[in-house]
Amino acid sequence: MRQPDLEVIERVLAGETAAFELLVRQYQQEIYRLAYRMTRNAEDAKDLAQEAFVAAYRSLGSFRGQSRFSTWLYRIAMNLCLNHLKSATRQDPSEVDGTLADLRADSLTALLTDERDRALAEAIEALPPQQKATLTLRVHQGLSHKEIAEVLDCSEGTAKANYFHAVRALQRRLQAFREAE
Amino acid sequence: MGEGVSGGATEQGNRGEGEILGGSVSGCEVVRQRLIAHHEGELATEERLQVEAHLATCEDCTREAGLIRDALGRVLALPVPEPPAGFWEDFGATVRRRIAAEHPPRPAPWARVAAWLSQALRQRRIPALAAATALGLLLVIGLVRTHRAPRDLPPVEALMISEDLAIGQNLEVLENLDVLEDVEVLERLDLLRHLDRGRRPRLS
């Protein structure tokens, strides 16, 4: 039976540092997938996910259990992803073009046989980072708007607005696709 | 700027969240603001029924609702490419190697003091009222600190604000100071005092 996260954290803070691996194993896939959905790059996602666990380990003493550990971990991971995206957009335009070309040919695109799915995936990539983050946390992690606000350090109203705009953007993309058919 | 959203933002125009016109949801514009919430089952019963009543008679809004359903369904189904064989073993090994190079995490200093106070209270080595006051102050500090982004916290100066906390007058407490030997706040720790300053603590 899986030990509750708080108990594992207490063990780690009491000196049983090897117990942290239980948390890594529990959340590694989720955090990796979250990072992948934000970056669409497997290598970046792996680096960011690993960094998230290391950052969580460093800050473990500050986790007070007032939210779920997963929410706290998502916050760390999402901050890393958003910073990564921010630094990527500051790159030289020619490098950005290269990155965009990679996205079009990336492993996700190769999996999508339906043109509408490809169109949607591109539309998600074009979303502002905060909207993409909100969409990812809501749709894939199943977080409430309140939890999303906690993760992204914004108001609940802002979280809802970002989600609304993200969904509407995808809806318009689908509509345009249908009209073009 | 985009339209408003069901959830607090004011849409363009004069209608706020949840405003029902003339006692019933009317107008495609109002309904479309609620389609996402409707899809996610977040509308109150009355509002949901009114949206559904509108959808039953409005092809345009029904088409919009269908697009939202389709879009969100496809997003949910978007896969994450499966990593290659050995990926997770390598992932775990890298994390293990990196955290082995880190200092072991410790509870925040205020949390360690709180834990000590709780233990001391259970063992009745300090007066209950003084301990409760200290714990209350530490809880406030903890709540304030928790709102910060997770990062290494600066040394807690919690007891700077707790002039009424005193430890040294209780000899048994002093004997247990080794429990706090690595607590950074120890240097700033004032002695626990009784709130009733005229009474000396009993040594149990």
B127-182 pLDDT, tens digit per residue, is: 666 767 776 777 777 666 655 544 433 333 443 444 444 444 444 444 444 444 44
Evaluate whether residue B195 is within a structural domain. Answer: no
Determine the Cα–Cα distance for residues A168 and A172; give it in Å rounded to an integer. Answer: 6
Residues B125 and B171 in one domain: yes
Average pLDDT over residues A53-75: 93
pLDDT band (50, 70, 90) for residue B86? very high
Partner residue facing A120 (CB), from B75, B79, B153: B75
CB-CB under 8 Å, B88 with A168: no
Secondary structure class of B4 (helix, strand, coil): coil
How many Å separate Cα B55 from the centre of its chain?
A: 38
Identify the domain containing residue B134 by its residue range: 109-188
> Which of A144, A167, A178, A179 would you mutate first to test chain B, the one with the most B CBs within 10 A?
A167
pLDDT of residue A47: 97
Q: Tell which wins on pLDDT, B192 or B105.
A: B105
Average pLDDT over residues B95-110: 89
Average pLDDT over residues B31-59: 94
pLDDT band (50, 70, 90) for residue A97? very low
Evaluate whether residue B102 is within a structural domain. Answer: no
Determine the Cα–Cα distance for residues A119 and A140; give it in Å rounded to an integer. Answer: 18
Determine the Cα–Cα distance for residues B145 and B110; give it in Å rounded to an integer. Answer: 10
Query: Where does A112-181 sit in CATH, by number?
Result: 1.10.10.10
> Which of B29, B33, B39, B80 would you mutate first to test chain A, the one with the most A CBs within 10 A?
B80
pLDDT band (50, 70, 90) for residue A118? confident
pLDDT band (50, 70, 90) for residue A151? very high
pLDDT of residue B108: 77
Residue B21, beta-bridge partner list: B24
Residues B129 and B173 in one domain: yes
pLDDT of residue A91: 57
Partner residue facing A139 (CB), from B9, B76, B107: B76
Q: Which residue has the tokens 């996402």?
A: B36
List the single range of B43-47, B91-95, B190-194 with lowest mean pLDDT.
Answer: B190-194
Radius of gyration of chain B (CA): 30
The residues spanned by each domain of chain A are 1-92, 112-181
Residues B127 and B67 in one domain: no
What pTM was computed for the model? 0.69
Evaluate whether residue B17 is within a structural domain. Answer: no
CB-CB under 8 Å, A64 with B92: no
Secondary structure class of B24 (helix, strand, coil): strand
Partner residue facing B71 (CB), from A62, A72, A170: A170
Residues in A closer than 8 angstroms to B149, CB to CB, are 75, 79, 153
Residues B117 and B184 in one domain: yes
Q: Tell me how many domains chain B contains.
A: 2
Angle ∠(A99,A102,A103) on CA atoms, nearest 5: 90
List the single range of A18-22, A38-42, A111-115, A119-123 with lowest mean pLDDT.
Answer: A111-115
Q: Which amino acid is at B44?
A: A
pLDDT band (50, 70, 90) for residue A107? low
pLDDT band (50, 70, 90) for residue A64? confident
Q: Distances in Å between the alpha carbon of B45 and those of B1, B31, B42, B68?
A: 30, 14, 9, 20
> Which of B11, B33, B61, B75 would you mutate first to test chain A, the one with the most A CBs within 10 A?
B75
Please, what is the average pLDDT of chain B? Answer: 68
List the single range of A151-165, A167-181, B13-27 with lowest mean pLDDT.
Answer: B13-27
Residues B128 and B66 in one domain: no
Evaluate whether residue B23 is within a structural domain. Answer: no
Average pLDDT over residues A126-137: 96
Query: Under CATH, to which class is A1-92 assigned?
Result: mainly alpha
Evaluate whether residue B59 is within a structural domain. Answer: yes
A38 pLDDT higher than 70: yes
